[in-house]
Amino acid sequence: MPLYEYRCSRCNGRKTILTLRAGEDVDTTCPRCDTQTLERQMSRFAMVRSEEARLDAMADPSRFGDVDENDPKSMGRFVRRMGSNLGDELGGDALEEMVDQIEGGGGGDDDEL
């Protein structure tokens, strides 16, 4: 089912419309100013990648160029990037807590990391 994004040329209001078919007629009334001035916009799309493709992308050496293991903030950015690539597999809130400890230089046992 396609999702279409529209922008009002009068007030810059935005509207997202879910349709059952690509050729389906849609209501192009602006939700903010109630005019018929909505223009369809280019939308972002998501591409599903396999676990193997995600792991291959993370193993690319060029992704490590900005990582400084001596800088806690750099390591925090790296761990967050890895976490977003793996999704829930790294533990969500537990990951954020760990990154906060790394960035803040907050002690904790090495076993916890």
pTM: 0.39
3-state secondary structure (DSSP) of residue 92: coil
Q: Report which DSSP code applies to 55.
A: H
Domain edges within the chain: 3-41, 51-112
* Among candidate residues 7, 1, 2, 3, the one with its CA nearest the CA of residue 41: 7
Beta carbons within 8 Å of 57's beta carbon, 6+ residues apart: 49, 63, 85
> What is the residue-level pLDDT of the chain in tens, covering all 113 positions?
567 888 999 998 888 888 777 677 888 888 889 888 888 887 666 677 787 887 787 777 777 777 888 888 888 888 777 777 666 555 567 767 777 877 775 544 444 44
